[in-house]
Amino acid sequence: MKKDKTLVIGASLNPERYACKAALKLLEHGHEIYLLGSRPGILSGREIVTEPLPYPDVDTVTLYLSPKNQEAYREYIISLRPRRVIFNPGAENPALASVLLQQGIQPLEACTLVLLSTRAY
């Protein structure tokens, strides 16, 4: 079964970071992922890119950035036209959530890891 693609913004190679844990768990659950982070690298065979790329088929964006650091990605996220954006704990941003809602994109304050573990992803 083909699963929708997820873009992890704030991706990291550090196994202690939740962005890394979520990326690995998404792969474990059979999801295809794209990784965007501040440092390049390879995580479980997937490249972490440092520049936003125009992925045409992103269903979900999951954010692991503080609200201040999200601002640089606002227009990029909107341009991807994802179905939803998950604001993980610490990434909650009512201002961006409001803009996304106006664009027809579902903002969701949730934890990607919890959604996956409860099969609600």
Tens of pLDDT, residues 28-47: 999 999 999 999 999 999 99
Q: How far is residue 90's CA from residue 65's CA, in Å, rounded to a whole number? A: 8
Number of residues assigned to the chain? 121
Q: How far is residue 8's CA from residue 105's CA, in Å, rounded to a whole number? A: 16
- Using a cut of 0.85, tell me whether the model's pTM lies above it: yes
Kindly state the DSSP code that residue 3 receives in the 8-state scheme: P
Q: Are 107 and 84 in contact (CB under 8 A)?
A: yes
The sheet with strand 58-63 has its strands ordered as: 41-43, 46-49, 32-36, 5-9, 58-63, 84-87, 106-109
**Structural domains in the chain?**
5-117 (3.40.50.720)
Characterize the bridge pairing of strands 41-43 and 46-49: antiparallel
Secondary structure element (H or E) that encloses residue 34, with its range: strand 32-36
Give the model's pLDDT for residue 2: 56
Listed as ranges, residues in the chain with pLDDT below 50 are 1
Helix, strand or coil, per DSSP, at residue 79: helix
Give the model's pLDDT for residue 1: 47
Radius of gyration of the chain (CA): 13
